[in-house]
Each structure stands twice: as C-alpha cells, then as structure tokens.
C-alpha cells in the first residue's frame, strides 16, 4: 500500500509538474502577447499623432490656399469685368462692321480704342489681348444675313476669342495660387 501511495504521489507529482509547466508557458505567452499589444498600442498612438499632425498641416495649408484663392478672386473679378466690357465693345464694333449704313471710320476708331485700352490695361496685357484683337480685326469677317435682328450672331472669331480669354482667366488664377504656395 505504501508503494502504491508512493507511486500515486510520484504520478501526481509528475502531473502537477506538467500542469505547472503548462501554466508557466501560458503565463509567458500572455505576458508576451501583452507586451506585443502594448507595442502595437504605442505604434498606433504614434501613427495617430502623425495623422493628427498631418491633418493640422493640411488645415493650415488649406487656409493658406483659401487666402491666396481669395486674393486671386479679386483679380479674376476684374478680369471678367474687363472681358464683359470688351465683349460689349467688340459686339458694337461687329455691328458697325456688318451694317450697310454706318461709316467705316467709326469702326476703325472703335478698333483703335480697343487696341489702346488692351495695351494700357494691366489685366488685358496679362491676358495678351492685343494679339487676339488684332487677329479678330483682320480675320473676323462673318456677318449673318441682312434681315438678322439678333446682333449676337455676327462675329464667330470674336466669340471664340472671348471664350478663350475666359478660360485663360480661370487658368491664370489657379497658376498664380500654385506659384504663390510653392514660393512660400
């Protein structure tokens, strides 16, 4: 009976040792996993801090972009106003050109005034309107029929240049903003 008890005690001791080893390995695995989670948490916090910093930088950059855009909106507004004035003057010039009764010297005087204004005005000079106006005056000879009451149907090249200048205004606005930001 004593030998059986010793055998049972020995067997229980082995099982206890196995369980202790298993428990120790589980504990070590949990500790290792905990360390790994702590490291991952630190990395995530660092990434979050970096993302927040980038977000703040983007917001400040957005603010700079918006301020430059507002400054250029003023230039764009002046350019569009100038284009509307030139459109009205060119339409009047085209109507004189297509008229059978209005004198030619009146048209030539309008053309001269437009060229002078385009060369003197800084916005018009920035849009390089003198070359376009010269091209219009030389090559835009389209007139709709005599019974036409819609004066806007006269002058195809004129309409094309006006649209071109509108697009140039928009393009220059964004190029100026880009240049200002890159210089900063």
Supply the mean pLDDT for the chain. 89
- Per-residue model confidence (pLDDT) at position 39: 96
Q: Which domain holds residue 11?
A: 2-183
The residue ranking higher by pLDDT, 30 or 151, is: 30
Segment 127-133 shows an average pLDDT of 93
pTM recorded for the entire structure: 0.65
The number of domains in the chain is 1
For the segment 8-57, what is each residue's pLDDT rounded down to a tens digit? 999 999 999 999 999 999 999 999 999 999 999 999 999 999 999 999 98
For residue 151, pLDDT over 70 is answered with no
Non-local CB neighbours of 36 within 8 Å, separated by 6+ positions: none
Non-local CB neighbours of 152 within 8 Å, separated by 6+ positions: 91
Distances (CA, A) of 98 to 26, 85, 101, 104: 98, 20, 9, 10
Angle at 41 between CA 39 and CA 46, to 5 degrees: 95
For residue 131, pLDDT over 60 is answered with yes
- Per-residue model confidence (pLDDT) at position 133: 94
């Amino acid at each position: 009976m004593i030998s059986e008890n010793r055998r049972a005690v020995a067997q229980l001791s082995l099982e206890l040792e196995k369980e202790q080893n298993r428990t120790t390995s589980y504990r070590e695995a949990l500790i290792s996993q905990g360390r790994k989670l702590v490291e991952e948490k630190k990395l995530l916090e660092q990434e979050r801090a970096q993302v927040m910093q980038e977000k703040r930088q983007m917001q400040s950059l957005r603010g700079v972009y918006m301020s430059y855009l507002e400054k250029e909106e003023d230039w764009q507004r002046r350019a569009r106003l100038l284009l509307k004035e030139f459109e009205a003057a060119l339409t009047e010039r085209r109507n004189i050109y297509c008229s059978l009764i209005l004198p030619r010297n009146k048209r030539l005087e309008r053309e001269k005034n437009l060229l002078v204004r385009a060369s003197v005005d800084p916005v018009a000079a920035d849009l390089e309107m003198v070359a376009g106006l010269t091209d219009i005056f030389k090559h835009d000879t389209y007139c709709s029929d005599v019974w036409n009451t819609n004066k806007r149907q006269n002058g195809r090249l004129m309409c094309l240049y006006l649209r071109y200048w509108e697009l140039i205004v928009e393009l220059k606005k964004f190029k100026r903003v880009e240049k200002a930001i890159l210089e900063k």
